[in-house]
Amino acid sequence: MVEDVSKRPVSPGAEELLGLYFPVLDHGFVALVDYMGTDECIERAARVSYGYGTRKASQTRGLLRYLRRHLHTTPSEMLELKFHCCMPMFIARQWIRHRAASVNEYSGRYSLMPMLFYTPDAAQLQTQSRANNQGRSGKPVTDATYAEAVQRWNGIRDASRSAYEWMTGEDVARELARIDLPLSTYTQWYWKTDLHNFLHFLKLRVDAHAQWEIQEYGRVMAGMLKRVAPLSYEAFIDYDVCGARLSRMELEAIRRLVSIEGDGLRANAGAAVDQAGLEALGLAKREARELFDKLGAAKTPDFELDLGKARTPEAFAAHFAAAVPKVDKPPQE
């Protein structure tokens, strides 16, 4: 009997994930369906003349951290990941802004749309932020407002569902029957990207300023990366998620507070930079607030996945099949 041993680089953590579907929001999911490459593949791409010889993990880690720290991103393009994702359409419209990926989306022209809609829970239905025109304030609306919002959403969805089911039942073309389905309707796609572009996606989408719903997808996918390429994930957390870029003016403000002394740093006695001093350096008030945020204590996130929460693809397939309108095919002419 021939032993079935893959000749391609294999990530044990990634192999554990294949075939597992992780729920996101009320009807969504993310699954890693395939991958190509490992941390070691990134190292070999960077050291083009280096083959498959024995290598210490510390040397691989050191090189990957150097590459990430100095923005040498080409070697990370050698690792690719393919996901199967299901999300509300309004999240898909944000997601598709990340153009450096191969995408194939569920077709509402070809297939009937499952009548599944996203409903935020009470904690997430919040008032409009006064500081961020794109986001919510962090303050939930009243119970009465939430109940009224859900009632109105359900009314819109019931009307859309009824119209869609009636039109498809009357053999109206699906590409037109779908046009008034709300943005809360779930869609799904296969999404394939390389690690370089995936890290850019994650940096923006696990950030606290991103919309909470897409953060939920980002957190699950970051947990998958932690298993696929743990050394790349570690460097990403240290230099991107918990690191920060500093402008010329920000660096000058810090230089006024500390000096280089031999192999260390020395606090400049009595030094201080107040708001007027920051403005004199060219920092606007908003830039000054952003500098304070960068220097504030930050908690290192841990995107560890709970494999016990995963479901089978068959479970999600059955859930979606049950939500597809039942349409009797008209008699053939």
Spatial separation of the C-alpha atoms in residues 190 and 112, rounded to whole Å:
18
Spatial separation of the C-alpha atoms in residues 83 and 189, rounded to whole Å:
8
pLDDT score recorded for residue 280: 92
- Strand order across the 186-194 sheet: 21-24, 28-36, 80-88, 186-194, 102-105
**By residue range, what is the domain housing residue 223?**
12-117+185-242+302-323
Whether residue 232 is found in the same domain as residue 256 = no
Spatial separation of the C-alpha atoms in residues 121 and 89, rounded to whole Å:
18
Whether residue 273 is found in the same domain as residue 317 = no
Element housing 182 (H / E) = none
State the 10-residue block means of pLDDT for the chain, 333 residues long. Answer: 69 95 98 96 84 70 94 95 98 94 94 96 93 85 96 97 96 95 97 97 94 97 97 96 94 92 88 89 92 89 95 96 82 49
User: Which of the residues are catalytic?
Assistant: 205
pLDDT score recorded for residue 204: 95
Whether residue 233 is found in the same domain as residue 254 = no
pLDDT score recorded for residue 49: 56
Q: Which two tokens stand for residue 51?
A: 């083959």
Question: Is residue 272 in some structural domain?
Answer: yes
pLDDT score recorded for residue 2: 46
Cα 150–chain centre separation? 27
Beta bridge mates, 191? 83, 103
φ, ψ for residue 134, nearest 5 deg: -95, -10
pLDDT score recorded for residue 10: 93
Whether residue 290 is found in the same domain as residue 314 = no
pLDDT score recorded for residue 251: 94
Whether residue 236 is found in the same domain as residue 220 = yes
Whether residue 235 is found in the same domain as residue 256 = no
Q: Which residue has the tokens 């002419």?
A: 333
The contacts of residue 38 (CB under 8 Å, 6+ apart) are: 9, 10, 11, 14, 79, 228, 229
Contact between 189 and 92 (Cβ < 8 Å)? yes
DSSP output for 4-53: ----S---HHHHHHTT-EEEETTTEEEEEEEEE--HHHHHHHHSTT--S-
Q: Which two tokens stand for residue 248?
A: 């010329």
Per-residue pLDDT reduced to its tens digit, 299-319: 899 999 999 999 999 999 999
pLDDT score recorded for residue 1: 46
Whether residue 23 is found in the same domain as residue 97 = yes
Whether residue 236 is found in the same domain as residue 252 = no
Whether residue 77 is found in the same domain as residue 36 = yes
φ, ψ for residue 189, nearest 5 deg: -155, 165
How many domains is the chain partitioned into structurally?
Answer: 2
pLDDT score recorded for residue 8: 85
Contact between 226 and 305 (Cβ < 8 Å)? yes
Question: Is residue 150 in some structural domain?
Answer: no
- CATH code for position 234: 3.30.1360.170
**Measuring CA to CA, which residue among 69, 77, 72, 74 is closest to residue 244?**
69
pLDDT score recorded for residue 233: 97
